[in-house]
Amino acid sequence: MVAPKIQILMAIGVALGVVQAGPIDYSNYINRSPVNNQATCTTPQCRLTAAGIVNDMDPTADPCQDFSKFTCGGFHAKHKIPEGKPSIGPFDILRDDNARILRLIVDPSLGQTPKAPVGDKAAQRNIKKLQDLFNSCMDDKAILKAGRKPLVDEIQKIVNSLPASRSHPDKKTLAKTLGQIAKYGLETPGFINLDVGSDDNNPLANVLTVNEDGLGLRDESQYKDEKRIKEYKETIAAMFQIILGDEDVTNRSQPLTSNDTKKEWSNAAKEVVDFEIQLAEIKTPQSELWDSTKNRNPRTIAQLNALTPSIDWSLFLKESFPPGLKYTGPIIVSSLPYLTKLEGLLQKTSAKTLQRYFSWVLIRSLSRNLAQPYKQPKTNFDSVASGISANATTERWTTCLSTADTNLVHITGHYFVKATFKGNSRQEVLNIVDNIIASYENTFPTLAWLDKKTRDGAIKKLKAIVKSIGYTTDNPDDVSAKSLDAFYKGYAVGEKDFFGNQLRYKRWAAAKAFGELLVPVDREGMEFSLTTVNAFYNPGANSIYIPAGILQLPFFNIENPEYVNYGSMGVVGGHEIGHAFDNNGRHYDSIGRLANWWTNATSQAFEEKAQCFVNQYGNFTIKGPQGEDHNLDGELTLGENLADNGGIKMAFRIWQSRHKSDPKGNKFKNFKLPGLDKYTPEQLFFISYGRLWCTMMTPDALVDYVGSNPHSPGKWRINGAAQNSPDFARAFKCKADTPMNPVNKCEVW
């Protein structure tokens, strides 16, 4: 199937302002650049970095008892979780900072948008397209005036293609309808989701995959929650009445309530939910979908027709693809049992039910592009589902900024990189990543459990890792206005047509995705915003991606001393490289092909060593809403914990070797920072790592997080890695068997 989703370094979302400089006395320092490692840097950048470290710390805490409290106690004391948000941390603060920079680029009302060079027609078109999209989103009056009609027109196309007068749709009718849905893009899937990605057996080739989908709730477990189901039915009924009912909701003097919902729409909602419940019952467990040995099932069109006779697969694909696209490659099915069970479900489902279901699929995906009165019930439902008050409001510009950054991601990235990615930052980060790779390569021969055959394969894989840093320079070239203009030529944007802009984007993006079937895999391409505060590893491409968005403080600055940059960005890079050898990534070879390149003995040794992490992290606990303890899931978080522990070891070892080889700082800058004289460079390395995870979460959000997120909570990302690091214990002189220096430590790499 498609290579498993890229491994995410961090995935929690909250917001607050910029961290401000703290109470450091600079009176004893002169504003100058350091001459050597004994000098103290007092440039504005060094002061800002030092202030951030000091502000986050609680120096009264004992680092050998609780390194998280020592590193993050100040952050916790100075910050609070914003109302309507589940958490706050450095990732989210930087995300907000990036959004403010991006707004200056995109929002013409602020008067700071970029100007195209005289005569540069491509740049002029790019800027106009970006600003027209943003303005169309901000034009509340035009959106309200358009009303519900744009969405009703799209639903009518589905209704016409799948008439409810028939008791059961024939296979060609259903195929055409599924093809229409597929043209709206991957964010609008029905019960079958077509996708494009690299083939596990031939990762340099793009293949078509058939995946299960179609649920309106977050996962199948929610369909067993009676309260949730009741709220979901009421939401669907209200949305049906608002979008398809006789009365325009904007003519009402009072908001629509459940008591106002007409019976016909309540019945329609019940049909939809009952159908989704049956879909949830036939879904494949998530653990199996992630199992690379089970999710690659190549099938021909004839075999798919035999598996699901209710669908004409040849017509389904023809209707889904752009005109003229002919695909003759393999079709990879992620779950054969799902398609078999789906056929049974389709045989007993009426055309009327399917018509209502597909109408809801469009409403839940496209209603977000309507004026607020036409989407209020769904907005309220989604807010509560996210743990946010239904009364919480979001400024319109944030929504429109997100839209611009999604639809024109390479144009926004072009100007964001210009604004934030200065000097030799890209090369410096690439140097750090290359040095971390060298650290892994130096370490592998020292591991007695890693035999020569597997070690050689691991080193080969290391050397083959593709590194995308900051931005891409091909398909499109993020620094070339001409390349970006050509890339977006097929996407038309109107200044007064927000819904149309969104619809055209979905269809353009879907056609572009299917077009990838005819070209080789782009292993370097970043298919996400360059403002993203994250980093990624894709095992199916053996590639790491570090976008410009994360290459800011506290994660990186080219003027920082190396012990700060290696403790932060070095560990981030080491973490992503570590995913190449975690419990999932280790099953892929140097080009991203699913292959067994490990010997049985080494594989068994890995499993035994990994079990130590499962046990260790499985014994860590967090507090729930009532003060009750909840254990972390050591199995769920294993891959991320292995990456954290390997990353911090490799980053420290390579930084330490550079520092020892050049103690005076003639080549490698490890100068002092103001106000931090009492800490050694070794200690500041670990402090720089720890402060990345100074995260606070509400108890409810934290319980939900540990139950579903493959990352450990921030406290245990800090303390777990510290407990396993002899380098940390030496740096802080922790006595044996103290909480942060247990006698028994876990180690794989």
Measuring CA to CA, which residue among 157, 185, 188, 137 is closest to residue 371? 137
Secondary structure class of 76 (helix, strand, coil)? helix
Kindly tell me if the per-residue pLDDT of 125 is higher than 60. yes
Type of residue numbered 515 = G
User: How many whole angstroms separate alpha carbon 674 and alpha carbon 22?
Assistant: 12
pLDDT tens, position by position, 556-594: 999 999 999 999 999 999 999 999 999 999 999 999 999
Tokens of 484: 């970006």
3-state DSSP: the chain helix, strand, coil percent, rounded to 5? 55, 10, 40
Measuring CA to CA, which residue among 294, 305, 287, 303 is closest to residue 334? 294
Tokens of 666: 């003639």
The C-alpha angle with vertex 364 and arms to 232 and 7, in degrees rounded to 5, equals 95
User: How many whole angstroms separate alpha carbon 46 and alpha carbon 54?
Assistant: 12
Other C-beta atoms closer than 10 Å to the C-beta of 726 total 12
Buried-exposed string 399-410: b where 16+ CB fall within 10 A, e elsewhere = ebbebbbbbbbb
The secondary structure element, H or E, covering residue 87 is strand 87-88
User: pLDDT value at position 637?
Assistant: 95
User: pLDDT value at position 727?
Assistant: 98
pLDDT tens, position by position, 520-565: 988 888 888 999 999 999 999 999 999 999 999 999 999 999 999 9
User: How many whole angstroms separate alpha carbon 351 and alpha carbon 308?
Assistant: 16
Percentage of the chain modeled with pLDDT above 70 = 92
User: pLDDT value at position 403?
Assistant: 97
539 alpha-carbon distance from chain centroid: 15
User: How many whole angstroms separate alpha carbon 439 and alpha carbon 575?
Assistant: 13
* Residue given tokens 């080219």 in the structure block: 558
pLDDT tens, position by position, 446-488: 999 999 999 999 999 999 999 999 999 988 999 999 999 999 9
pLDDT tens, position by position, 322-335: 999 999 999 999 99
Contacts of 418 (CB under 8 A, 6+ apart): 114
pLDDT tens, position by position, 633-661: 999 999 999 999 999 999 999 999 999 99
Measuring CA to CA, which residue among 24, 29, 87 is closest to residue 52? 24
Tokens of 165: 């007068």
- Structural domains of the chain ordered from first start: 7-101+407-519+531-732 (3.40.390.10), 140-392 (1.10.1380.10)
Q: Write phi, then psi, for 409 (nearest 5 degrees).
A: -60, -35
